[in-house]
């Protein structure tokens, strides 16, 4: 069975520096794949490439059997890829509710949306997600005033509102308390039933908890891939990334 | 509204007191106030004083249009005096015509218009350069370069000038138009340098004109060997550019401050002394505006005599204004009269040369009055008569603008 | 149409460029560093011309001294304006556009009330109304003066912004006021100085334009749009403005040489649109921040 | 040991909203203070209040006895405050070098040089001094933010979740470095951390914040699991 | 609960009351000048509305609204001019004077009134769709788009000025008589003209208001906030931007037509940079985030210009300038925000202050 997302020999250079170097990976539908690697390894850049934010120098990205390499961001998003950014990106001047409403993007055509005043199924979905993200009490707040952790939750909720087939989560738990981390882990594990996830995280405890597969990047290339225990046992990964203490 | 004996006659003064057009138009307002004061002191018009309603058109064509309506419909003025640029005139004419009202338009313009609601006291394109071109050709040589601002009046003026040029045996070596308000004359002066004309014929207006004369000298052109013969560079312009930049150049106009006749001396002296003389000079545009007040007075009185004071309407004034004369003892430029057909003015253009102190020395004055002809270069269009434009096919068209 | 005249056109292009550049220079600093869209820039230029006129007419100051003096006067006006109004608007960039538009009306009408609406005369040394002939090329002395003053100003600003601690502070403040403040930079002082500097440069431009063209309360309006085009096309950086003015000035001169001034303008406007189509961030803009 | 920082009944506002309420605590020289609490309780606001970045604050904040209230942020910075904000606050158009140099503006001696320490700790930065900082990866930016704060030559480092987004082995290293700065160089630390483990390891004392108020404080040993349970789980 | 100002029903009621009030004016006022003047204000209101939609709502600052407005106005002027030409006299006089002896091809369709009116709206709308489409696709935004519209406007201005034989140059086009539709003349001073303009204004407002309340409106707001982010939610940002820019341009084109109907005159001044700037100013003063507020801004400023102007002759610009400064300094969202905060005070104890445009943000993401 081919993967939902396949990355083939992807490379990306900025000026002279090669940031992604012949990187390939494959994510099977319904799994949760953790993408880890040292700072600057190219994880975020890989996400940029998958979501069309930047175009690769060479290589291909295939999603659900379709080549999406040269597509625009919104086309890729419509195809079913949702993304949470590393630096939380929410619509700061809109209220939390509006943020979620916009994210509920069933109809994206500007012309048809002119005549749409109420979105079917929005209310239930919004209530559900807001409760999940702990935002119910703040729905009418302007998103710009949320604290860092709350912003993280809002962005995760937005991705959930999108109901994408593939979720890319760039450091979703940065700045969360331990309790919240557990909750996030639960949510992610639940999501696996209906969607596929790629999660970038440095918190190995979290990775250990959720990952089906772990892929390690280093200097733009694939360093290792396997289950969490295989990875933690890998000397190279310990060397460049985990350090002795973490692995111990 | 019918006029009442004993109540002042309201007239509208529609000029810009602010904005880019304020420079010439503020003077127009001032001189008209002066003129009406003078008229009122001497018994008014038809025995009653004139009350000017002054509005500020703010150099905005939208405001010109709006204020015209306000003056006509709300203030119920008997006549309008206004506008300096053709564009503003065109902006208000639909209203003036629609209400069958009367506009006194007091400055030089391109003609090619035949409405039944205007009276103009400035020179038409055909009057202006008639003497200037032959004079320059004779004095400096055959080759001439035309420079103008990029709009209707300079282009029309130049069409006329070309006719005179051909008659005088001159040769056109270049023709350039500068965007309105532009102050960059480098490229044009470069072309002039290449074309090596004997003199330049300029219809550049406003701030651009001042920049033109300044840069002319700064770029090393010499006034003795290549003077500028202009239709616009008068007393205010030379003062603003500094006499050193104006000195030696030529201007054709019906009026100069230095005109040597008793009426003018009195006019200049009294005006500058009055509270309206704050800008310190008189010039052709001002004097042409001054004349409108007297043309109005004469026209009104003639109309009053014809239909009775109470029944004087703008229409009646206009119908009675053909042939009105402003005599030597009133007109600072000397006798002028209104053409009976096209309601422009018969006048004598004069040529002045700017002196080191910024005043003009009259070097030539037309011997005869020159007939105004708004369609001089479009004979096919027909002739303008009091009732409309009579085409070659004999058909009469009214309100041709 | 020989080589000589084409060469002349090229030289003239440099001159036109320097005129546009000096007009845009103050704006670049104010927009680039403080993010303020200063619609009153044209009126600052006008104030520069009037300051020179006033100093010359009432105090008999020689023209060459009027140039720096205008810098000081207009900078002072800019300072007052910044303290009194602009400092409250820094986090509302588009509002500065409106507020400064109001300021421009006030300045224009204020000057008109004081000095009248008739044009004023600004005298320059006789030397400046001559030209320099270099074989077949010819250029006016005054244009050379403008070029030199412009070059001097650009150099000065470049040194100030890229070679001094002050420059680092300005650039830090312009990127993130809060962070700059957290590291000991008095951002409000920096804004104030920058604004004053920008205004002062407009003053210099004004005293030059007063001699080249005309001194009128409305004179500023004709420069401000052009200046804006230069600054934005340049992407808000000093180098960008220099190149944008340089290229457009040259194009204006060359187009005008081959056709006429009006058409040259039209072409330039169209070219700017086309250019921005392909470089939507202007010249020398850096790639946007990452997420 | 003497009192370095003192909060006396501080209330801090965004617009008209009170975020910190009647905040009081004291911090000794050389101490490492951990600020703990759930999301949105006001930890970041506390840091910003110290720097003077909130809209308004009442009450008294003192450093070495000097009153800070009423002073602008740029003046406060010169009291030896090195700030690592949440979200990092890197100037993206500056190079790495310029970003670090930015820190030196708040130095007491104003020396415009990059302290050797900053680069020693973060070799990546040393190798990439002339890169545009906006292009760095998230973790690299975090490192840069810490280096910049060190360039101030601070008495107190304000660290708002400093290890967020940093790879595990460097997290570990940063922990060591902070310890070193604290114990060897005598730099006091105020640290917000979500990881109780890290807090326990590094901290000398803690304050627990809930809904803008201090709900518990004391030496780190007093931080019971019960406290953590009550104020930090959801 | 909450602020009445944000209550949709209340908003619609206020709009309805406002327009009904305006519609009743002709039954009380019998002053040809006033009706004509008010109708002209209606045109300005339409322009402010279009700016409010595009800038206030869509976040696209358009300094070149004069393009759509001017093209519409020229279209109308050409139509009206051709109405006064006849078989025997097929060419407008200004063309004759410019030595044209045949009607230029692009004037031909305007001989037919219906076609002319259609083109007067269609051409500017199409222009906006194409220009906007190209530019937004290239991701030109913010001040860059503003400057682009400005440059485009200047280009149009220059070329119209220069192509005198076809456009009348600086003098513009002056149709000598009023517009006739199906043989009926619409006297610009009549209540018919007034009501026509008002009718168009009402339709434009309702359409604009509906747009802002639709899903489209929400997405547009999101784009104004952070276009980059919205792309990743699957929306084609360029599509939305082009759409709102085009609708706004279409409203401006209608305004252009109405103006010429009222004043029988068009000139490049309609495409002057300063006029397009004024439109922005009206919207800003009135409150660009509020459609009604923007319209009122236009009424207010143009009214002040007409009625304060001559009382204060020399100082009116000072007053106007000072007024802008004060409004911008103290009322960031224009006069409408005055009402908003007044109603906000009335509303039951606001929990958090609705600080507009919140000045203090938490640590900004770099
Ligand atoms: N636009 C760009 N121009 C130049 N270099 C870039 C650009 N974008 C990213 N880089 C470089 O590419 C490398 C990979 O960056 P990336 O953000 O993908 O790392 P990451 O794996 O997400 O790291 P982290 O865990 O710290 O977030 C970094 O060294 C970064 O500096
Ligand atoms: N500019 C602002 N205006 C109004 N309220 C604000 C503003 N900034 C933050 N807040 C509010 O203040 C509260 C505290 O925020 P703060 O950022 O200090 O939380 P925090 O404890 O740092 O949380 P986290 O762990 O998520 O970073 C939050 O409820 C937040 O919504
Ligand atoms: Mg990353
Ligand atoms: Mg925080």
Return the HEC string of B289-317. HHHHHHHHHHHHHHHHHHHCHHHCCHHHH
Task: Give the pLDDT band (50/70/90) at residue C290.
Answer: low
Do the bridges between strand D32-36 and strand D205-210 make them parallel or antiparallel, or are there none, so unpaired? Answer: parallel
User: Distance between CA D59 and CA D56 in Å, rounded?
Assistant: 10
Residues 6+ apart with CB under 8 A from A108: A74, A78, E234, E235, E236
Q: Which residues of B touch C119 (CB under 8 A)?
A: 23, 207, 210, 236, 239-241
Residues 6+ apart with CB under 8 A from E151: C229, C269, C270, C272, C273, C276, E64
Q: Give chain D's domain count.
A: 1
DSSP 3-state assignment of A60? strand
Q: Cα E220 to chain center, whole Å?
A: 19
Of D43, D51, D232, the one to substitute when testing ligand 2's pocket (max ligand atoms within 8 A of C-beta) is D43
Q: Is C277 on the interface with A (CB under 8 A)?
A: no
Ligand nearest to the CA of D38: 2
Task: Give the pLDDT band (50/70/90) at residue E363.
Answer: very low
| Among A71-80, B149-158, C277-286, E116-125, the least confident range | C277-286
Q: Which residues of E touch D160 (CB under 8 A)?
A: 363
Q: Is E357 on the interface with D (CB under 8 A)?
A: no
pLDDT tens figures, A159-209: 999 999 999 999 998 888 888 888 899 999 988 888 999 999 988 889 998
| Among A201-215, C76-90, D100-114, the least confident range | D100-114
Task: Report the pLDDT value the prediction gives residue B326, as an integer from 0 to 100.
Answer: 92
E311 CB burial (10 A radius; 0-12, 13-18, 19+): exposed
User: Distance between CA E171 and CA B327 in Å, rounded?
Assistant: 34
Query: At D126, which CATH number?
Result: 3.40.50.300
Residue D72: DSSP 8-state: -
Task: Give the pLDDT band (50/70/90) at residue E69.
Answer: very high
B144 CB burial (10 A radius; 0-12, 13-18, 19+): buried
Please give the distance, rounded to the nearest whole angstrom, from the Cα atom of residue B382 to the centre of ligand 1. Answer: 79
- Cβ proximity of D1 and D28 under 8 Å: yes
Token couple for D95: 């190079």
Task: Give the pLDDT band (50/70/90) at residue E331.
Answer: confident
**Closest-CA residue of chain A to D36:** A177
Chains that contact E by 3+ CB pairs under 8 Å?
Answer: A, B, C, D
Specify the residue with its C-alpha closest to ligand 2, atom 7: A145
- Cβ proximity of A128 and A97 under 8 Å: no
User: Distance between CA B36 and CA B42 in Å, rounded?
Assistant: 10
Mean pLDDT of D73-101: 88
Min Cα distance D101 → chain E (Å) is 17
Ligand 2 close to Cβ of residue D47 (< 6 A):
no
User: Distance between CA D192 and CA D178 in Å, rounded?
Assistant: 13
User: Distance between CA E54 and CA E127 in Å, rounded?
Assistant: 16
Task: Give the pLDDT band (50/70/90) at residue D195.
Answer: confident
Which member of E138, E228, E314 has the closest CB to residue C277?
E138
Task: Report the pLDDT value the prediction gives residue D223, as an integer from 0 to 100.
Answer: 82
**Closest-CA residue of chain D to A152:** D39
- Cβ proximity of C42 and C223 under 8 Å: yes
Task: Report the pLDDT value the prediction gives residue B181, as an integer from 0 to 100.
Answer: 82
- Cβ proximity of B78 and B296 under 8 Å: no
B361 CB burial (10 A radius; 0-12, 13-18, 19+): exposed
Task: Report the pLDDT value the prediction gives residue B1, as an integer from 0 to 100.
Answer: 53
Of A14, A38, A51, A216, the one to substitute when testing ligand 1's pocket (max ligand atoms within 8 A of C-beta) is A14
| Res C291 pLDDT > 70 | no
| Res B350 pLDDT > 50 | yes
Task: Give the pLDDT band (50/70/90) at residue C212.
Answer: confident
Atom of ligand 2 nearest to the CA of A141: 31
Task: Report the pLDDT value the prediction gives residue E347, as an integer from 0 to 100.
Answer: 65
Percent of chain D that is helix, strand, coil (3-state, to 5): 35, 30, 35
Q: Cα A111 to chain center, whole Å?
A: 30
- Cβ proximity of B389 and B373 under 8 Å: no
* E336-346 helix and E291-307 helix, angle to the nearest 10 degrees: 130
Size of interface B-E (CB pairs under 8 A): 117
Beta strands in B16-93 (DSSP E): 50-56, 79-82
Atom of ligand 1 nearest to the CA of D167: 25
- pTM listed for this prediction: 0.90
Task: Report the pLDDT value the prediction gives residue E219, as an integer from 0 to 100.
Answer: 93
**Do A243 and D139 count as a contact with CB atoms less than 8 A apart?**
no
Beta strands in chain C (DSSP E): 131-134, 137-140
Ligand nearest to the CA of A177: 2
Buried b or exposed e, range B220-238, using 16+ CB within 10 angstroms? bbebeebbbbbbbbbbbbb
Task: Report the pLDDT value the prediction gives residue B386, as an integer from 0 to 100.
Answer: 87
Which member of C269, C278, C282 has the closest CB to residue E151?
C269
Task: Report the pLDDT value the prediction gives residue B382, as an integer from 0 to 100.
Answer: 84
Please give the distance, rounded to the nearest whole angstrom, from the Cα atom of residue A221 to the centre of ligand 1. Answer: 13
Residue with tokens 């000139």: E267
Q: Which residues of E touch C106 (CB under 8 A)?
A: 317-318, 321-322, 325
User: Distance between CA D77 and CA C172 in Å, rounded?
Assistant: 15
User: HSE (CB half, 13 Å, CA atoms) of A41?
Assistant: 24
Of D17, D44, D51, the one to substitute when testing ligand 2's pocket (max ligand atoms within 8 A of C-beta) is D44
Residues 6+ apart with CB under 8 A from B164: B129, B130, B132, B133, B134
Instruction: Confirm whether A101 is domain-assigned.
Output: yes
Task: Give the pLDDT band (50/70/90) at residue C80.
Answer: very high
**Do C110 and E318 count as a contact with CB atoms less than 8 A apart?**
yes
Mean pLDDT of A26-39: 91
Q: Which residues of E touch D48 (CB under 8 A)?
A: 362-363
C130 CB burial (10 A radius; 0-12, 13-18, 19+): middle
Specify the residue with its C-alpha closest to ligand 2, atom 10: A145
| Domain edges within chain E | 4-349
User: Distance between CA D219 and CA A88 in Å, rounded?
Assistant: 34
Query: What is the residue range of D92's domain?
Result: 3-232
Which member of C37, C109, C273 has the closest CB to residue E151?
C273
Neighbour tally for E204: CB within 10 Å: 24
Residues flanking ligand 1, CB < 6 Å: A 14, 17, 19, 37, 39-45, 86; C 287, 290; D 135-140, 165
Ligand 2 close to Cβ of residue D14 (< 6 A):
yes
Percent of chain E that is helix, strand, coil (3-state, to 5): 70, 0, 25
φ, ψ at D180 (rounded to 5°): -65, -45
Helices and strands in chain B: count of H runs, count of E runs: 13, 18
φ, ψ at B101 (rounded to 5°): -100, -165
- Sequence length of chain D is 234
Q: Which of E278, E276, E294 is nearest to E73 (CA)?
A: E276
Q: Which long-range contacts (CB under 8 A, 24 or more apart) does E97-105 make?
A: E97/B112, E97/B156, E97/B378, E97/B381, E98/E164, E98/E165, E99/E165, E100/E165, E100/E166, E104/E165, E104/E166
Residues 6+ apart with CB under 8 A from A35: A25, A43, A46, A198, A199, A200, A214, A215, A217
Task: Report the pLDDT value the prediction gives residue A245, as an integer from 0 to 100.
Answer: 57
Q: Which of E31, E166, D44, C149 is nearest to B69 (CA)?
A: E31
User: Distance between CA B12 and CA B104 in Å, rounded?
Assistant: 10
Residues 6+ apart with CB under 8 A from C185: C169, C172, C173, D74, D102, D105
Q: Is B357 on the interface with C (CB under 8 A)?
A: no
User: Distance between CA C207 and CA A45 in Å, rounded?
Assistant: 52
DSSP 3-state assignment of B96? helix
Please give the distance, rounded to the nearest whole angstrom, from the Cα atom of residue D212 to the centre of ligand 2. Answer: 9
Do the bridges between strand D156-160 and strand D56-63 make them parallel or antiparallel, or are there none, so unpaired? Answer: unpaired
| Domain edges within chain C | 23-223
Name residue E337's beta-bridge partners. Answer: none
Task: Report the pLDDT value the prediction gives residue B248, as an integer from 0 to 100.
Answer: 92
B322 CB burial (10 A radius; 0-12, 13-18, 19+): middle
Q: Which residues of E touch C102 (CB under 8 A)?
A: 320-325, 328
Q: Give chain A's domain count.
A: 1
**Closest-CA residue of chain D to A183:** D234
Task: Give the pLDDT band (50/70/90) at residue B105.
Answer: very high
Mean pLDDT of D170-193: 86
φ, ψ at A58 (rounded to 5°): -155, 170
Q: Which residues of E touch A121 (CB under 8 A)?
A: none
ipTM of the complex: 0.89
More confidently predicted of E231 and D234: E231
Query: What is the residue range of A108's domain?
Result: 88-163
User: Distance between CA E67 and CA E82 in Å, rounded?
Assistant: 22
φ, ψ at E180 (rounded to 5°): -115, 130
User: Distance between CA C198 and CA C200 in Å, rounded?
Assistant: 5
Q: Is A212 on the interface with D (CB under 8 A)?
A: no
Q: Which residues of C touch A91 (CB under 8 A)?
A: none
Token couple for A242: 């985990």
φ, ψ at A24 (rounded to 5°): -130, 145
Please give the distance, rounded to the nearest whole angstrom, from the Cα atom of residue A236 to the centre of ligand 1. Answer: 21
The sheet carrying D3-14 orders its strands as D17-28, D3-14, D56-63, D66-67
- Cβ proximity of D234 and A183 under 8 Å: yes
Query: What residues of chain D have any CB closer than 8 angstroms to a CB in chain E?
Result: 14-17, 44, 48, 53-55, 85-92, 134, 141, 160
Chains that contact C by 3+ CB pairs under 8 Å?
Answer: A, B, D, E
Task: Give the pLDDT band (50/70/90) at residue B103.
Answer: very high
Mean pLDDT of B102-110: 92
Which member of E31, E174, E275 has the closest CB to residue B401?
E174
Name residue B149's beta-bridge partners. Answer: B178
Q: Which of A41, A39, A6, A38 is nearest to A20 (CA)?
A: A41
| Among A229-243, E306-320, E321-335, the least confident range | E306-320
Neighbour tally for E120: CB within 10 Å: 26
List helix spans (H) across B170-329.
186-195, 206-218, 235-241, 243-246, 262-273, 284-307, 314-319
**Do E234 and A72 count as a contact with CB atoms less than 8 A apart?**
no
Task: Report the pLDDT value the prediction gives residue E110, as an integer from 0 to 100.
Answer: 93
Residues 6+ apart with CB under 8 A from A203: A173, A181
Please give the distance, rounded to the nearest whole angstrom, from the Cα atom of residue A242 to the centre of ligand 3. Answer: 16
Chains that contact A by 3+ CB pairs under 8 Å?
Answer: C, D, E
């Amino acid at each position: 069975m081919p993967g939902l997302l396949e990355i083939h020999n992807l490379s990306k250079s900025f000026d002279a520096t090669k940031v992604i170097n012949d990187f390939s990976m494959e994510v099977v539908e319904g799994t949760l794949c953790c993408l880890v690697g040292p700072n600057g390894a190219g994880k975020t850049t890989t996400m940029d490439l998958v979501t069309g934010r930047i175009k690769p120098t060479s290589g291909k990205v295939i999603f659900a059997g379709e080549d999406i390499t040269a597509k625009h961001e919104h086309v890729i998003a419509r195809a079913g890829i949702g993304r949470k950014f590393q630096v939380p990106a929410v619509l700061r001047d809109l209220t939390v509710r509006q943020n979620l409403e916009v994210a509920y993007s069933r109809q994206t055509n500007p012309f048809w949306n002119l005549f749409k005043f109420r979105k079917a199924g929005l209310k239930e979905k919004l209530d559900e997600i807001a409760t999940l993200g702990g935002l119910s009490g703040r729905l009418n707040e302007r998103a710009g005033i949320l604290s860092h952790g709350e912003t993280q939750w809002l962005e995760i909720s937005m991705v959930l509102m999108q109901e994408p087939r593939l979720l890319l989560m760039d450091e979703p738990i940065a700045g969360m308390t331990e309790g919240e981390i557990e909750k996030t882990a639960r949510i992610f594990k639940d999501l696996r039933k209906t969607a596929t996830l790629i999660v970038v995280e440095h918190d190995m405890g979290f990775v250990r908890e959720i990952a089906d597969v772990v892929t390690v990047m280093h200097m733009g290339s694939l360093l290792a891939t396997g289950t969490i225990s295989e990875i933690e046992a890998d000397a190279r990964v310990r060397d460049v990334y985990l350090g002795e203490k973490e692995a111990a | 509204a019918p006029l009442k004996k004993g109540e002042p006659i309201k007239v509208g003064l529609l000029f810009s007191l602010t904005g880019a057009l304020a420079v010439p138009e503020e003077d127009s307002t001032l001189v008209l106030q002066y003129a009406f004061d003078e008229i009122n002191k001497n018994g008014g018009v038809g025995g009653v004083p004139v009350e000017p309603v002054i509005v500020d058109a703010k150099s905005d064509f939208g405001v010109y249009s709006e204020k015209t309506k306000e003056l006509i419909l709300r203030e119920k003025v008997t006549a309008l005096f206004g506008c300096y640029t053709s564009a503003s005139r065109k902006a208000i004419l639909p209203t003036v015509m629609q209400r069958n009202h009367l506009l006194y338009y007091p400055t030089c313009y391109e003609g090619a218009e035949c409405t039944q609601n205007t009276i103009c006291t400035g020179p038409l394109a055909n009057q202006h350069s008639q003497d200037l071109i032959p004079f320059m050709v004779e004095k400096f040589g055959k080759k001439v370069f035309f420079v103008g601002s990029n709009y209707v009046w300079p282009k029309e003026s130049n069409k006329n000038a070309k006719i005179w040029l051909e008659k005088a045996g001159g040769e056109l070596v270049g023709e350039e138009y500068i965007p309105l308000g532009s102050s960059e004359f480098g490229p044009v002066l470069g072309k002039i340098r290449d074309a090596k004309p004997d003199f330049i014929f300029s219809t550049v207006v406003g701030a651009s004109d001042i920049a033109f004369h300044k840069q002319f000298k700064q770029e090393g052109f010499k006034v003795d060997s290549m003077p500028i013969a202009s239709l616009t560079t008068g007393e205010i312009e030379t003062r603003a550019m500094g006499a050193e930049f104006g000195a030696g150049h030529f201007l054709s106009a019906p009026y100069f401050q230095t005109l040597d006749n008793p009426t003018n001396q009195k006019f200049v002296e009294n005006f500058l002394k009055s509270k309206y003389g704050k800008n310190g000079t008189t010039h052709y545009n001002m004097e042409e505006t001054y004349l409108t007040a007297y043309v109005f007075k004469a026209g009104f009185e003639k109309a009053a005599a014809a239909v009775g004071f109470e029944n004087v309407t703008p229409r009646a004034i206009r119908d009675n204004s053909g042939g009105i004369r402003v005599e030597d003892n009133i007109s600072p430029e000397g006798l002028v009269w209104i053409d009976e057909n096209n309601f422009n003015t018969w006048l004598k253009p004069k040529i002045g040369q700017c002196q080191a102190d910024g005043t003009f020395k009259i070097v030539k004055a037309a011997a005869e009055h020159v007939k105004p002809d708004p369609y001089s270069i479009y004979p096919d269009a027909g002739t303008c008569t009091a009732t409309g434009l009579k085409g070659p096919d004999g058909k009469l068209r009214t309100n041709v603008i | 149409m020989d080589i000589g005249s084409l060469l002349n056109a090229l030289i003239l292009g440099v001159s036109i460029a320097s005129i546009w550049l000096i007009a845009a220079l103050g704006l670049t600093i104010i927009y680039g560093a403080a993010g303020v869209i200063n619609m009153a820039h044209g009126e600052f230029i006008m104030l520069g011309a009037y300051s020179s006129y006033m100093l010359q007419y009432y105090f008999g100051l020689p023209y060459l001294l009027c140039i720096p003096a205008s810098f000081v006067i207009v900078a002072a006006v800019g300072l007052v304006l910044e303290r009194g109004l602009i400092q409250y608007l820094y986090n509302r960039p588009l509002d500065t556009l409106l507020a400064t538009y109001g300021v421009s009306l006030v300045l224009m009408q204020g000057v008109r009330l004081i000095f009248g609406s008739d044009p004023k005369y600004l005298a320059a040394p006789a030397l400046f109304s001559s030209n320099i002939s270099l074989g077949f090329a010819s250029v006016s002395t005054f244009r050379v003066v403008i070029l030199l003053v412009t070059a001097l100003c650009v150099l000065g600003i470049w040194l100030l912004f890229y070679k001094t601690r002050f420059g680092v502070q300005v650039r830090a403040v312009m990127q993130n006021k809060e962070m700059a403040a957290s590291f000991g930079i008095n951002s409000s002082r920096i804004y104030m100085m920058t604004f004053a500097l920008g205004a002062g440069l407009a003053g210099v431009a004004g005293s030059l334009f007063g001699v080249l063209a005309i001194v009128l309360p409305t004179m500023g309006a004709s420069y401000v749009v052009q200046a804006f085009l230069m600054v934005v096309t340049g992407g808000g950086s000093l180098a960008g403005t220099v190149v944008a003015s340089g290229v457009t000035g040259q194009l204006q001169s060359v187009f005008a040489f081959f056709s006429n001034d009006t058409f040259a303008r039209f072409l330039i406007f169209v070219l700017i649109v086309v250019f921005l189509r392909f470089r939507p961030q202007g010249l020398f803009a850096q790639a946007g921040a990452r997420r | 040991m003497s009192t370095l920082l003192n909060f006396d009944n501080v209330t801090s506002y965004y617009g008209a909203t009170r975020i910190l309420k009647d905040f009081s605590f004291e911090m000794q020289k050389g101490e490492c203070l951990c600020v703990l609490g759930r999301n949105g309780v006001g930890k970041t606001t506390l840091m910003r209040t110290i720097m003077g970045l909130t809209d308004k604050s009442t009450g008294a904040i003192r450093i070495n006895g000097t009153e800070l209230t009423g002073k602008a942020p740029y003046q406060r910075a010169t009291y030896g405050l090195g700030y690592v904000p949440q979200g990092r606050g890197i100037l993206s158009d500056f190079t790495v070098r310029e970003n670090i140099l930015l820190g030196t503006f708040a130095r007491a001696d104003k020396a415009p040089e990059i302290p050797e320490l900053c680069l020693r700790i973060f070799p990546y930065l040393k190798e990439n001094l002339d890169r545009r900082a906006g292009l760095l990866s998230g973790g690299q930016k975090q490192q840069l933010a810490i280096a910049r704060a060190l360039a101030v030559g601070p008495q107190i480092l304000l660290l708002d979740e400093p290890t967020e987004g940093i790879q595990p082995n460097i997290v570990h290293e940063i922990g060591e470095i902070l310890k070193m700065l604290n114990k060897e160089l005598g730099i006091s630390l105020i640290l917000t951390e979500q990881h109780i483990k890290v807090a326990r390891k590094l901290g000398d004392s803690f304050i627990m914040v809930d809904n803008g108020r201090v709900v518990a404080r004391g030496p780190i040993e007093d931080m019971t699991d019960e406290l953590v349970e009550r104020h930090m789980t959801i | 609960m909450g602020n009445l100002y944000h209550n949709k029903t209340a908003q619609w009621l206020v709009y309805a009351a406002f327009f009904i009030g305006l519609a009743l004016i002709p039954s009380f006022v019998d002053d040809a000048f006033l009706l004509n003047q008010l109708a002209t204000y209606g045109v300005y209101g339409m322009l402010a509305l279009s700016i409010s939609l595009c800038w206030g709502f869509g976040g696209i600052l358009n300094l070149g609204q004069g393009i759509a407005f001017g093209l519409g106005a020229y279209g109308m002027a050409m139509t009206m001019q051709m109405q006064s030409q006849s078989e025997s006299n097929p060419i407008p006089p200004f063309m004759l004077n410019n030595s044209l002896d045949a009607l230029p091809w692009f004037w031909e369709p305007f001989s037919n009134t219906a076609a002319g009116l259609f083109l007067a709206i269609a051409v500017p709308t199409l222009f906006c769709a194409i220009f906007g489409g190209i530019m937004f696709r290239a991701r030109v935004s913010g001040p860059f788009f503003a400057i682009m519209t400005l440059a485009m406007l200047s280009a149009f201005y220059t070329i119209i000025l220069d192509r005198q034989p076809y456009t009348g140059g600086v003098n513009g086009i002056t149709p000598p008589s009023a517009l006739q539709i199906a043989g009926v003349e619409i006297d610009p001073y009549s209540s018919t003209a007034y009501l026509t303009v008002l009718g168009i204004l009402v339709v434009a407002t309702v359409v604009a208001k509906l747009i802002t309340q639709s899903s489209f409106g929400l997405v547009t707001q999101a784009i104004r906030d952070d276009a980059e982010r919205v792309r990743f939610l699957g929306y084609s940002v360029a599509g939305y931007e082009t759409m709102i820019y085009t609708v706004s341009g279409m409203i401006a084109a209608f305004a252009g037509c109405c103006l010429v109907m009222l004043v029988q005159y068009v000139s490049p001044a309609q495409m002057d940079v300063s006029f397009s700037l004024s439109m922005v100013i009206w919207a800003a003063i009135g409150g660009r985030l509020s459609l009604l507020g923007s319209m009122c801004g236009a009424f207010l400023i143009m009214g002040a210009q007409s009625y304060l102007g001559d009382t204060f002759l020399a100082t009116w610009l000072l007053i106007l300038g000072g007024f802008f400064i004060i409004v911008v300094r103290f009322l960031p969202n224009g006069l409408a925000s005055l009402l908003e905060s007044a109603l906000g005070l009335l509303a039951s104890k606001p929990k958090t202050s609705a600080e507009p445009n919140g000045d203090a943000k938490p640590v900004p993401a770099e």
